[in-house]
Amino acid sequence: MAMLRTTVLVAVLCAAACSEKTPQLTTRDMASPPADAPRSAPPAATSVLFRNVRIFNGVDPKLQAATDVLVRGNRIASIGSSDVTAAEPGMTIIDGGGRTLMPGLIDMHWHALAVRPSIAVALQASTGYLNLMAGAEASDTLQRGFTTVRDVGGASFGLKRAIDEGWQAGPRIYPSGAIISVTGGHGDFRSPEELPRRLGAADSRMETMGDTAIADTPDEVRTRVREQLMRGASQIKLTAGGGVSSPHSPLDVVTFTSDELRAAVLGANNWGTYVTTHAYTPEAIRQAVEAGVQCIEHGNLMDEPTAQLLANRNVWLSIQPLPEELLRAFPPDSEEYAKGREVLSGTDRAYRLAKQYKLKTAFGTDVLFSAALAQRQGELLASLTKWYTPAEALIMATSTNAQLLALSGKRNPYPGRLGVIEPGAMADLLLVEGDPLSDIRIITRPQQNFRVIVKDGRIYKNTIK
C-alpha cells in the first residue's frame, strides 16, 4: 500500500499540469500529430537542399542572412549559396522562403518509458506493452521538434535500438538505464512488507524490469553501474538525496555514502563516461561533487556556497522549469505538498544563482506519467524566458545541451556534433515559421510552426509545398 499510495501521488502530480485549471493549454495545443506523421524512419534521401533560409546556428544569438544549406547523408555538407540548379538523383529541394532553419531541440531530463502510461498501467502492464506506448510517444516527441533526449532513468535500450535501426520514429536517446538508489532512497518504491532485501538481488518489479536498481554498499554500486554500462548506458544516474514523492526518504536526507558515490564515479570513468545525480539540497549536492560527480540533476535548493562549488569544479547543473500548478495534486496539509512547495520555491533562486556564477546549465523537462504534459514540452522550454532571453534559452536547448551529451565520451552512441548548424554537424534540423529568437512562443505550437523536421538526414515532416 505504501508503494501504491506514493505512485498514485506521482501520477496525480503530473496529471495536474494538464487539468482544466491550467490556462496555458488549449485544444489546438493538445491536438495529436498529423495523421501522416511517420511512425517509422522514412527512407533516407541522398541529399536535402534548403534554399533561402535564415539560420539560427545554435550558438549565435542572432539570425544569419538568408542562404542555402546542403545536407548529404546524415551530415550538413555546406552552408552558403548553392550552385545546384536542379535536383540531383535522390535530392529533395525545399524552398525555405526566408523561414528560420535551426538545430533540433534537446531535452536533457527525459524518461522515455514513463511519459505516456498512467502509473497504474506502468505498475501492471507488460514490458512489451509499455515499449509500444513509449514508441508512440517517441514519434510524438520527434514531431514536437525534440530530435534528441537524454533518458535519465528507465529501461529504454530496446526503444533506442528500434529508433536507431529505423523501425520506430523518435529522437536520439542517450540512455542511463536503471536509476541507481539505496534502500529507502528516492527511487525505492517498495513497501516495508517487502523487506528485508537480499544483498545483490533484484526482487521488486521495477528492478526486474530494469527501471531502478538498489545498491547499499560500494561493491553493490559497482555492480549496478557495470550492469547499466553492459546494457549500453551512455551515462550513469544515481539519486543522491530525497525526492518530493519518495515514500521513505525525506527531502533533506543524503542517501549514498561518499565511498558509494566514488565507486559509481570510478566505474563510470573507467568506461570513459560520467555520473549524474538527482540532488536538491546543498548537502546532497556537495557530497556528490566532492565524490567526483560531473552533473547535478535539479539542484533547486542549492545555496550560494554550493553554486560557487559547482562553478569551481566545473560541474554541470541540469535543472528543469517545472510549472507551479504541479502542486495542485497534493492536499495542502500533506507532507508531499510541503516538500513540493519547498522544491518549487527554490527554483527561481537556483536559476539566478546559475546565472550569477555562470554555471554550465542544461535544459530538461522531467515529464512523468502524463502524455498531456508532454505536449507542453516546448512550452516548458519557452518558460525559461523568466530568467533568460529567447536566444539564451534556445542556445541552452541546442548547442549547450549537446556539450553535456558529449561528456559521455567514447560511450557516446552518436559521435558527431549535435545542436549546431555548421558543416560536418549531424543533420538534425527544424524549418520554423517565423523567428523564434524574437518570439519564442513559436516553439510552443510545433504542429503549426515546425514546417520541416529532419533527423539524421531523414525528413520526418515536410509541409512546404
Burial group, residue 375, by CB count within 10 angstroms (0-12, 13-18, 19+)? buried
Instruction: Name the more confident of 392 and 45.
Output: 392
Q: What mean pLDDT is predicted for residues 364-372?
A: 85
Nearest CA-CA partner of 362 in 319, 406, 417, 399 = 319
DSSP one-letter string for 200-245: T---SHHHHTTSEEE--SHHHHHHHHHHHHHHT-SSEEEE-B--SS
CATH topology identical between 2-31+106-411 and 47-104+420-462: no
Contact between residue 375 and residue 17 where contact means Cβ atoms under 8 Å apart: no
Q: What is the grid cell recorded at 59?
A: 550558438
5-57: pLDDT as tens digits: 444 444 333 333 333 333 343 333 334 555 567 777 777 667 999 999 999 99
How is the chain split into domains, by residue range?
Answer: 2-31+106-411, 47-104+420-462
Mean pLDDT across the chain: 87
Counting residues of the chain whose pLDDT is more than 90, the rounded percentage is 67
CA distance 110 to 92: 32
345-367: pLDDT as tens digits: 999 999 999 999 999 999 999 88
Q: What mean pLDDT is predicted for residues 159-169?
A: 95
Give the pLDDT confidence score for residue 326 in this predicted structure: 66
Looking at mean pLDDT, say which of 14-28, 72-86, 154-168 comes out highest.
154-168
Q: What mean pLDDT is predicted for residues 89-110?
A: 94
At residue 122 the predicted structure's pLDDT band, cuts being 50, 70 and 90, is confident
DSSP state of 419: S
Q: What mean pLDDT is predicted for residues 359-377?
A: 90
DSSP state of 63: P
Give the pLDDT confidence score for residue 424 in this predicted structure: 96
Torsion of the alpha carbons at 259, 364, 273 and 208, rounded to the nearest 10:
70
Give the pLDDT confidence score for residue 333 in this predicted structure: 81
Single pTM value for the model? 0.89
Class level of CATH domain 47-104+420-462: mainly beta
- Within 32-186, strands assigned E span 47-55, 67-72, 75-79, 91-95, 100-103, 105-110, 146-151, 172-175, 179-181
Greatest Cα-to-Cα distance within the chain, rounded to the nearest angstrom = 72
CA distance 78 to 69: 6
- At the topology level, CATH places domain 2-31+106-411 in TIM Barrel (3.20.20)
Contact between residue 55 and residue 69 where contact means Cβ atoms under 8 Å apart: yes
Q: Does the pLDDT of residue 161 top 70, yes or no? A: yes
Chain length of the chain? 465
Counting residues of the chain whose pLDDT is more than 70, the rounded percentage is 85
What φ, ψ does residue 53 adopt, rounded to 5°?
A: -120, 145
Contact between residue 360 and residue 404 where contact means Cβ atoms under 8 Å apart: yes
Give the pLDDT confidence score for residue 14 in this predicted structure: 39
